[in-house]
Amino acid sequence: MLFRNELKFLKRLVVKVGSNVITNTDGSYDLPKLEGLVKDIYELRSAGVEVLLVSSGAVNVGRPFLRQNPKESIEYRQAASSIGQPKLMQKYCELFHASGISCSQVLLTHDDFKSSTRRVNAINTIEVLFDNNIVPILNENDTVSYEEIALGDNDQLASKAAIMLKAQALLIITSTDGLYDKHPGNPEAKFIKEGSLGHNLSSFEMDQIDPVGTGGMQSKVEAMLEATRYGITGIISSKDLVPMILTPLSEERGTLFTPSKTEVPS
């Protein structure tokens, strides 16, 4: 498998897909997207790349099973996630099984990254999973935590996982081609091919654009910049690329965030 120049030595990758990538607004699965994602991860594994998948979608999958509530409280979303998470995992297990590999569920909270004992436990678990050719699928443990539900749609979680696992790359798949300096619907918006800690991105308009899930571009860029500080190469790219994961890893697509190693992971 040939990767783009910046990822020539790719051995460990964290891929994050938002709720808007794998589910529709009514909470149903976007099956072609899920199938494509599984196929890409299978190919990466076959090429010797370890992949941790960070997947949102639990809230959206679980929501139709609760009574409608236009003012969604945090606990309403937590309950929806509690319903949706096992269903989402069941779907992933089915699809990965059909392609001949197994997957596993990893639920973490931001507090887990702060505690060295919990971090070590998470790292040890995931290393065993990688060694056994299993694809770990990470989501926030929404019942006891709500940082991503409220703010980030797992962008920060993915960045922290990439740093913790010393991945070489973090790929965040979203509903636009990458980063624009203005809202992508604005005809004057300019596409940003490359970003880094040194660039001044604060003047960019990065409002929420996703009808499903939380986060928006701001949280993705923050997650990327944090990862680059630990030597990780980041890419934000579109869910409409075919293949969705392999294309931005092998071609110059999406917005690339170049690493500027200033921190050493503990």
> Where does this chain bind ligand GLU (CB under 6 A)?
19, 56-60, 81, 139-140, 142, 148-149, 153-154, 213-214
User: Rounded to the nearest whole angstrom, what is the least distance from the CB of residue 77 to ligand GLU in the complex?
Assistant: 7
User: Rounded to the nearest whole angstrom, what is the least distance from the CB of residue 217 to ligand GLU in the complex?
Assistant: 15
Residues 91, 146: Cα–Cα separation, whole Å: 23
**Which of 41-63 are b and which e, b meaning 16 or more Cβ less than 10 Å from the residue's Cβ?**
bbebbeeebbbbbbbbbbbbbbb
Nearer to ligand GLU, 181 or 222 (CB): 222
User: Rounded to the nearest whole angstrom, what is the least distance from the CB of residue 59 to ligand GLU in the complex?
Assistant: 3
Which of 264, 257, 260 shows the shortest CA–CA distance to 229?
A: 260
Nearer to ligand GLU, 195 or 216 (CB): 216
Nearer to ligand GLU, 60 or 233 (CB): 60
User: Rounded to the nearest whole angstrom, what is the least distance from the CB of residue 39 to ligand GLU in the complex?
Assistant: 22
Are the C-beta atoms of residues 160 and 175 closer than 8 Å to each other? no
Are the C-beta atoms of residues 28 and 60 closer than 8 Å to each other? no
Count of CB atoms situated within 10 Å of the CB of 188: 8
Nearer to ligand GLU, 40 or 148 (CB): 148
Which of 24, 86, 30 shows the shortest CA–CA distance to 58?
A: 86
Q: 18 Cβ partners below 8 Å, 6+ apart?
A: 56, 57, 153, 154, 172, 173, 174, 175, 210, 212, 213, 215
Nearer to ligand GLU, 19 or 255 (CB): 19
User: Rounded to the nearest whole angstrom, what is the least distance from the CB of residue 125 to ligand GLU in the complex?
Assistant: 19
* Cα Rg of the chain (Å, integer): 17
Nearer to ligand GLU, 213 or 259 (CB): 213
Which of 128, 122, 126 shows the shortest CA–CA distance to 136?
A: 126
User: Rounded to the nearest whole angstrom, what is the least distance from the CB of residue 81 to ligand GLU in the complex?
Assistant: 5
Are the C-beta atoms of residues 245 and 173 closer than 8 Å to each other? yes
